[in-house]
Amino acid sequence: MATGADVRDILELTGGENDGPISKKDLINSDKKKAKKTTETLTFKRPEGMHREVYALLYSDKKDAPPLLPSDTTQGYRTVKAKLGCKKVRPWKWMPFTNPARRDGAIFHHWRRVAEEGKDYPFARFNKTVQVPVYSEQEYQMHLHDDGWTKAETDHLFDLCKRFDLRFIVVHDRYDHQQYRKRSVEDLKERYYSICGKLTKVRAASGTEPKIYIFDAGHERRRKEQLEKLFNRTPEQVAEEEYLIQELRKIETRKKEREKKAQDLQKLIKAADTTTELRRAEKRVSKKKLPQKRETEKPAVPETAGIKFPDFKSAGVTLRSQRMKLPSSVGQKKIKAIEQILIEQGVDLNPMPTEEIVQMFNELRSDLVLLYELKQAHSNCEYEQQMLRHRYEALLKAGSGAIILGSDAQAWPSTDDIKVEAKEQIIDVVGAPLTPNSRKRRESASSSSSVKKVKKP
């Protein structure tokens, strides 16, 4: 007697979780289980080494199998092949032709289709000619007459312009200088364009303003003279011109630097005056009213006035001593100068950070920085003034051989200290750039002058 396992084996059913007796549901759904099994087995795996994009072209999203044979469709980019039919070939013939651009009646031959026999030369449309105006005898006598030109010479000029399509270099070369006066290219152009302008103005309709071309012969002559001079320069002249251009650029650069320094100096002076006025106004207010918090009474100080300390207005707990910390914009030289002055004056570098001490200490250091910058700018101005004096005396000595001074001769240095400079140094009357050594000397002098000990009263 057949068991359940034998029936499943005959119906090709796999053994499930329950290997008990066969039910009616198992026999009805046997075809669906087979289809599901076949669909699960039809899977293709991408070969190793093949890119995903290339495999996507072969294996679509519909899970179709890749094609075994290449398919060709009529749509898409394809190379068009010649379609050879059974029609007759169009005959060609060796036939003569004439070019309408030629006036000598020359006849040429070339291959051409028989159907095109008798047609015009196809390249004749490229023959473009310049429309040269034609004048009558009456127009010439009334409007075009000139004492320097005869009618025969004018006719000869217009004939050449028409023959050579306004190529005035060729017109000047073919001009009959033996029969007529010797003319330049500018004279020929001036005569031609003046006649064209007069004819355009005379033939224009009443009430309209025609466009007239004016040729400036004088400007053209000057332009050619300048080009000829430029071409005939010697190597020494070219080198001298390049040298002068470089010196001019240096002078302009130094002039811009001086203007920038002057603007910075004006800002410093203005900041010092503003700070002084604010302090005086603050003292007057403090005398009249009760002492309040300085933060609410003090107006805003410009950024150029000494040091701008950051405001700690963020949420959270902050230490008052952080307000005494110098910002990163202050350089190390200024910080050392401030510390040296404070030490010499006996001021603590880290005082007790109360409200009033913090504000007074920051104001003191801001004033010290402003004083340092003003002294440095003053020393720079003195150095430049002395340098310009030396240059002025050197130029006077080089020009006249002797220095002639006025009533203020005592302010100038002695002639023994003056050294005659070279050509490269004398030519720059605005000022030469500072050398590294001179910059170091100026910086050390300014720093030493700014940190001088102030005696207590």
Q: Using one digit for the tens of pLDDT, what is the confidence trace for 188-231?
A: 999 999 999 999 988 888 888 888 888 999 999 999 999 999 99
Q: Which residue has the higher pLDDT, 115 or 5?
A: 115
Range in 31-45, 54-68, 324-338 with the lowest mean pLDDT: 31-45
The tally of CA atoms less than 13 A away on the side-chain side of residue 436 is 0
Q: Which residue has the higher pLDDT, 32 or 103?
A: 103
Q: Looking at residue 143, what DSSP letter applies?
A: I
Residue 106: pLDDT over 60: yes
Residue 262: pLDDT over 50: yes
Q: How crowded is residue 358: how many other Cβ atoms within 10 Å of its Cβ?
A: 19
The strand pairing partners of 456, in sequence order, are none
Q: At what angle do helices 355-400 and 332-344 cross, to 10 degrees?
A: 110
Contact (CB, 8 A) for 115 and 90: yes
pLDDT of res. 252 = 94
CA distances from 363 to 35, 195, 258 (A): 92, 83, 30
pLDDT of res. 59 = 59
The pTM of this model reads: 0.40
State mean pLDDT over 131-154: 90
User: Buried (b) or exposed (e) across 32-52, using 16+ Cβ within 10 A?
Assistant: eeeeeeeeeeeeeeeeeeeee
92-98 vs 107-113, strand pairing mode: antiparallel
pLDDT of res. 417 = 46
CA distances from 123 to 98, 127, 131, 251, 449 (A): 11, 8, 20, 62, 90
Report residue 259: phi and psi, to 5°. -65, -40
Stated length of the chain: 457
Residue 451: pLDDT over 70: no
pLDDT of res. 436 = 45
What is the average pLDDT value for the chain, to the nearest integer?
75
State mean pLDDT over 161-176: 92
The strand pairing partners of 95, in sequence order, are 110
Residue 422: pLDDT over 70: no
Q: Which residue has the higher pLDDT, 351 or 110?
A: 110
pLDDT of res. 108 = 92
Percent of all residues in the chain with a pLDDT value above 90, rounded to a whole number: 22
Q: How crowded is residue 197: how many other Cβ atoms within 10 Å of its Cβ?
A: 16
Contact (CB, 8 A) for 156 and 176: yes
